[in-house]
Amino acid sequence: MNIFIYEPHTEDWSKLNKDNFIEHYKLKFASKDLEKNEKFIDNIVNWKYEPYYTELRHQIKEISRYNRSRIQCPIVNNLSTCNSEDILLLTDDDDWFNPLVVEKVRTAFEEDESLDVVTWNCWNYKICKEEQFVKREDVGSNGFAIKRKMPWKYHSAGAHVWIPDLENRIHLDEDLSIWTVHPMSFYLNSNYQLEKALSRRDRAQVPENLNWASKEIEMMFEIISNMKMVK
């Protein structure tokens, strides 16, 4: 049984900058929601912080690269090399997994070969107007592992909303992933969120069951804390 971390929407942020990002966004990332696109682009055009948006995204992706190095699981960006019975851990390039996730997922699928998907407890680490740790009641965006053979919508962007429709699944009552919510997220980015994030001083207590992500959390907090408004 092969298990892969699947990052379909990652980007080489180090090659994007103030001169080329807007056009790149319009070509590759733009939402069908025109109002959302206009708001996001307006925020980036009027960016008034250092580092620039793409540099921040690069730094945040580096946290995930560190997290992946702890897991020892191959990363794929497309499914052309995956077989139908391979297992995918779907994620974005700013979210994190518990280092035990592969072991737990492999055990679950080996114990019941009829399974199509395994879910687990996913938490949000929110670092916007306040720092928060929130356990999700639904399936998180990186809160499941699924067989490659399942229809496309189950391993594409937003797939987590469809997972409850599947019958051949089990849930592991273990905290195996964190879905980060930060001011650089496409759907959250706004000057309001950034200003609130920069003015924040109080820290939230990391839940004991998320201690596996202590370093990732500190790295993320440091990135946000080191941002400066350009005068």
- Give per-10-residue mean pLDDT for the chain (231 aa): 91 93 81 72 86 94 97 91 94 96 98 96 89 95 96 88 94 98 72 63 90 97 87 73
pLDDT (tens digit, 9 = 90+) per residue, 27-63?
776 666 667 777 888 888 888 889 999 999 999 999 9
Q: Please classify residue 83 by burial: count the beta carbons closer than 10 Å to its beta carbon, then call 0-12 exposed, 13-18 middle and 19+ buried.
A: exposed
For 56-110, the DSSP string reads: HHHHHHHHHHHHHHTT---EESSSTT--TT-EEEE--TT-EE-TTHHHHHHHHHH
CB neighbours of 154 closer than 8 A, spacing ≥ 6?
A: 117, 146, 162, 163, 166
pLDDT of residue 187: 58
pLDDT of residue 26: 82
* Dist CA 156 CA 90 (whole Å): 8
Neighbours of 49 (CB within 10 A): 17
Q: Are 107 and 154 in contact (CB under 8 A)?
A: no
* Dist CA 77 CA 124 (whole Å): 23
Buried residues in 98-132 as b, exposed as e (16+ CB within 10 A): bbebbebbbebbeeeeebbbbbbbbbbbbbbeebe
